[in-house]
Homo-oligomer: A and B are copies of this chain.
Amino acid sequence: MSYSREAMVELLRKHGISPTHQRLEIAHVLFSRCEHLSADRILALTNERFAETSKATVYNTLNLFRDRGLIREVIVDPKRVFYDPNTQPHHHLYNVDTGEITDIAADALEISGMPALPPGMVTEGVDVIVRIRAL
C-alpha cells in the first residue's frame, strides 16, 4: 500500500470525505506508520514539518475518520484514547509500565462461548486487551 498524496486523496474520497489539506496531513501521519497514536501525538506529528493544524481540527478529523470507519479507537488507558489505523479485527497487548501497545492478529486468538445477546442487540466489536508488565 502506498501513502502518496494521491493514494490518501483516493482513500478519503472512497469514504465520502473531502480531501482537505489538513485531513491529508493527518491521514498521512496515521497511515504512514503502523502505530497506535494519541490525539496529542498526532497533533504534534502533523505540525512537525511545517503546516499549522489546530487542535480542534485534529479532534474533528479523528472523530470523522472514526465515524467513517477509517480508523478505530483503542481504549486501554483511562488517560487518553489511542487511534489505530488498522480496522481489521484484531486484539491488543498493552504494556502497563511503558504504555506500549502491540497488535495480536485476530486469527491467533480463538474466542468461543460468546453469550447470546438480548434480542434487538448487535455486537459492535469484541476487544481483547492483554495487559502485561515486567516481572
Contacts and interface: CB of A to CB of B under 8 A. Distances in A.
Interface of A: 73, 75-78, 80-81, 93, 95-96, 104, 108-115, 117, 120-135
Given A73-B78, A77-B75, A111-B111, A128 B127 contact: yes
A81 B75 CA distance: 11
A110 B111 contact: yes
The interface residues of chain A, by DSSP majority, are classed as strand
**Copies of this chain in the oligomer:** 2
A86 B132 CA distance: 20
A129 B126 CA distance: 6
A119 B80 CA distance: 28
A110 B113 contact: yes
